[in-house]
Structure 1
Amino acid sequence: MTATLGRTAVKTKIGLRDVSKVFQVRDAREPFVALSGIDLDVREGEFLTLVGPSGCGKSTLLDLVAGLTRPTGGQILIDGTPVTGPGLDRGIVFQQYALFPWRTARANVEFGLEAKAVPKKERRERSRHYLDLVGLTGFEERYPHELSGGMRQRVAIARSLAFDPDVLLMDEPFAALDAQTRESLQEELLRIWEKTGKTVVFITHGIDEAVYLGQRVAVMTSRPGRIKEIVEVSFDSRDGDLRAVPAFGEYRHHVWALLRDEVAAAQVLERKATSHG
């Protein structure tokens, strides 16, 4: 899939041009530089994973693409148009499920559709469709406290897909789940991506997860976050246990080799911040 992308002209869906983000911190002598000089193109319909050490600005970068915050410098484009705020062309899934506890799974999925004034019958049809897509048929009338963590995250994914965004932004959505549930949802997410053709940007701390999910893996430096390298990931086949094939281990080793020094640098920064505190 990635090889095919490399041979043909593919439209850029998301473009980041020399993006920086600086925070003014009270009582600090210098501003906090979270991101600096980010240049990145995300292809239309691709699954891009973003990995980097703690504190490198991964979530800040996702917030900027989502339009939740503005860059200090540079520009972010969706289909060539500058991002000036949140939009229905982008769906967001966070690590925390962020479901309304007083709403059923169906009602949670329908929430955004209500805000768009979608007629009730169509809301029901869409919520049913997307809950089925994430494997939750039969659980439509369950409340969040009646669902497992994995099920709640499925509802969150269905809710983001229901208003049919072009782009799905995911900030470590499986980090709080146990290993078996996480791997199950990784497979489910790939199936949904292949079926819907959405452009997906997925943040993770896990190298295995980044390699398993991503057509490309963008590796970030320690703070201030920059794009160190983008690794193209391509497998001959996804049949069987992908994590057991030699190529998977080679990709994993390469990404870790890029990250090793960045993780060490991030730890030094953290120790300095702690000692100054």
Structure 2
Amino acid sequence: MEDPHLSHPKLRARAVTRTFGRAAGAVHALGPVDLDIAPGEFTCIVGPSGCGKSTLLRIAAGLLRPSSGELSIRTSDRRAVAMIFQDYGIYDWKTVLANVRFGLDIQRVPRREANARAEEWLARMGLAEFAGAYPATLSGGMRQRVAIARALAVEPEILLMDEPFAALDAQLRTILQDELLALTQTTETTTLFITHSLEEAIVLGDRVLVMSARPGRVIAARRPPFPRPRSGDVRTAPEFTALKSELWDLLRAEVGTEAAA
């Protein structure tokens, strides 16, 4: 029976694969992957290192082409997709305000409107007083807040996030998870979020997909049993611990497969 959440997906992948290199030296990195993401859904993908999670995200972003299969995105235009990287991806030579306004400048939004929208998102991310600062003067957490503000300022229909909190310490990571949770629950943005953290995936995701060892395929899907709006308090729920244990059992088998290869 078809999942009613996915009858009109925002993102759809069918038999997507990606191979790097040629002939005997070719590496089959991904797939085949079949995937549907519903409008407004926050989907998290977990899997062993090297399983192709980031490759799939880059295909979705249009930065890579699949070797076979098709990935389609249903948006008003390609600019409706924004991506946030682990290494922030912001420009050291631009002020914080100019970084957040960057996508709006590309879209040729009038400067007054662009500044107003950038300033609004800086305020929402607690960065209003740093509008004139440069990234080198900011902490890692603040730089990642700038990256999130820049992505959301363009009001994307689809947000792609590649382990955006992986380089942060545990306490700051928890804070930013909770901030992202609060932000995404106030928008209708469809989000595809790559992470190594099972806790992060369960806190944030409407759905958690587990990928196999390379070449990565989707081998399981789980829906955290926490209705929205939700908060980080779900971390203390018995259901949270049970789901984390179940996901780890699935992943442990794949990590063992990868180690034996």
With the shorter chain as reference, the TM-score category is: over 0.9
Contact 1:20/1:74 (<8 A) preserved:
yes
Q: Is the 8 A contact 2:178 2:231 kept in 1?
A: no
Shift of 1:267: 2.1
Q: Determine helix, strand or coil for the equivalent of 2:57.
A: helix
Give a deviation string over 1:62-88, Cα, whole Å, max 9, x none: 00000101001111111289xxxx931
Shift of 1:29: 2.0
| Structure 1 letter corresponding to 2:44 | T
CA RMSD of aligned residues (A): 1.9
Q: Distance in 2 between matches of 1:53 and 1:8?
A: 27
Paired residue for 1:250?
242
Correspondent of 1:39 among 27, 34, 37? 34
Partner residue in 2 for 1:120: 111
Counting aligned pairs with the same residue, the percent is 46
Q: Secondary structure at the match of 2:213?
A: coil
Match of 1:63 among 58, 62, 70: 58
1:94 equivalent in alignment to 2:85: yes
Superposition deviation, residue 201 in structure 1:
0.6
Equivalent in 23, 32, 49 of residue 20 of structure 2: 23
User: Which range moved further: 133-142 or 183-192?
Assistant: 133-142
Match of 1:49 in 2: 44
> For 1:94 and 1:235, how far apart are their aligned partners in 2?
27
Q: Is the 8 A contact 1:46 1:199 kept in 2?
A: yes
**What is the aligned partner in structure 2 of residue 3 from structure 1?**
none
Match of 2:97 among 98, 106, 123: 106
Q: Write out per-residue CA displacement over residues 204-254 of structure 1, whole angstroms, 9 at most, x where no aligned residue.
A: 011111111111100000001000011111226845732111000011011
Q: 2:124 aligns with which of 109, 133, 138?
A: 133
Go from structure 1 to structure 2 and tell me whether the alpha carbon gap of 1:67 and 1:236 turns closer, same or farther (over 3 Å shift): closer
Ranges in structure 2 where 5+ consecutive residues have no aligned partner: none
**Do the aligned partners of residues 55 and 130 (structure 1) sit closer, same or farther apart at CA in structure 2, a change above 3 Å counting?**
same
Q: Return 5+ residue gaps in structure 1 as ranges.
A: 1-5, 270-277
CA 1:236–1:118 in 2, change beyond 3 Å: closer, same or farther? closer
* TM-score scaled by length of structure 2: 0.93
Distance 1:119 1:91, change over 3 A: same
- Shift of the alpha carbon at 1:138? 1.7
Partner SS, residue 99 of structure 1: coil
Partner letter of residue 14 of structure 1? L
State the SS of the aligned residue for 2:215.
Answer: coil
- 1:184 corresponds to 2:175: yes
Does the C-alpha gap of structure 1 residues 7 and 32 become closer, same or farther in structure 2, counting only changes over 3 Å? closer
Match of 2:9 among 8, 12, 15: 12
Deviations 1:146-193 (A, max 9, x none): 211111001001111122210000000000001111000001101110
Three-state SS of the structure 1 residue aligned to 2:24 is coil
Partner of 1:227: 218
Question: Could you say which residue in structure 1 is the equivalent of 2:202?
Answer: 211
Q: Check whether the contact 2:6–2:37 (CA below 8 A) recurs between aligned residues.
A: no
Name 2:251's counterpart in structure 1.
Answer: 259
How many pairs are equivalent?
Answer: 258
The one-letter amino acid paired with 1:221 is S
- Rounded to whole Å, the distance in 2 between the matches of 1:72 and 1:200 is 24
Following superposition, the deviation at residue 7 of structure 1 comes to: 6.5
d(CA) in 2 for partners of 1:80, 1:235: 28
